Amino acid sequence: MIPVLEARALEKSYILPRASWLERRARIEAVKDVSLAVAAGETLGIVGESGSGKSTVARLLMALEKPDSGAVLWQGEDVTALSPRQLRARRHGIQMVFQDPYGSLDPRMRILDTVAEPLDVAEPDLASAERRARVASMLERVGLNADVLTRYPHQFSGGQRQRIAIARALVTRPRILVADEPASALDVSIQAQILNLLSDLKAEFGLAMVFISHDLGIVRYLSDRMMVMQHGVVVEEGETERVFTAPAHPYTRALIAAMPKLVT
């Protein structure tokens, strides 16, 4: 079976701005030789501390940035070789939820237009009543009333905004969802609601999901398989339970040991 999302030997480095003309340009290798595959309906968790390259992997998987080398395949098709136009035509199949719901919604756009944006690109000829109905039903699915349609992002709390961002990501019924720390900017009490919602939606829509987090507990709760990243390299990968019960790499063991435990 072809994985719905695959990455082969991804490499990405950035050139740091130099302090003076006399200095050599310093490079930072954000991602080194990362390969992964996600099957339909499966959730892959990626954990690692900040700066480990997990968000770069997310942007590369979303084809928001070009890798220096390696390939990203959506449903078996290499998207790194596509023209911008061809790439845009395929984007409705893979969507993303960002970490900061305060930054990921355009403050000047009504919720209706924000949620409908992927739909507008995928189906530009959609009648406005149908467009509105689809947006309203998706908002309802994430737990928001249709009366939010004409409001603006600043009128909502962080948790509500993240629900709006999720509705937007799923409105075109993508097969793949990349979630980059979707709950870490939220209050702990709201986090659980958002994670449960993602978990429900994943089952309902048969989504393949890449779930990025620095929180091992969340990854354990949501993922079938997981990858541990450190300094841009995958140090361990496997079935989530196997990684938790028998971690092979010292870094994974250190991460697990650092998890807060409930003492009874």
Residues at the site binding other proteins, with contacts judged by CB under 8 A: 59, 62, 64, 84, 88-89, 91-92, 95-96, 98-100, 103-109, 117-118, 121-122, 154, 165, 168
Cβ proximity to other proteins: between 169 and 228 the closer is: 169
Cβ proximity to other proteins: between 95 and 213 the closer is: 95
- Smallest separation, CB 158 to other proteins (Å): 11
- Smallest separation, CB 247 to other proteins (Å): 33
Cβ proximity to other proteins: between 84 and 260 the closer is: 84
Cβ proximity to other proteins: between 24 and 108 the closer is: 108
Query: What DSSP line would sit under 48-82, residue for residue?
Result: --TTSSHHHHHHHHTTSS--SEEEEEETTEEGGGS
Q: Which residues contact 208 (CB under 8 A, 6 or more apart)?
A: 4, 5, 38, 39, 40, 41, 42, 43, 175, 176, 177
Residue 211 near residue 219, CB atoms below 8 Å: yes
Report how far apart, in Å, the C-alpha atoms of 106 and of each of 15, 173, 183 are.
Answer: 29, 21, 19
- Smallest separation, CB 59 to other proteins (Å): 8
Cβ proximity to other proteins: between 96 and 197 the closer is: 96
The closest of 245, 149, 158 to 193, measured between CA atoms, is: 158
- Smallest separation, CB 220 to other proteins (Å): 27
- Smallest separation, CB 236 to other proteins (Å): 29
Residue 111 near residue 150, CB atoms below 8 Å: yes
- Count CB atoms within 10 A of the CB of residue 211: 28
Cβ proximity to other proteins: between 128 and 245 the closer is: 128
- Strand 5-15, strand 94-97: pairing: unpaired
- Smallest separation, CB 184 to other proteins (Å): 14
Q: List the beta bridge partners of residue 229.
A: 234
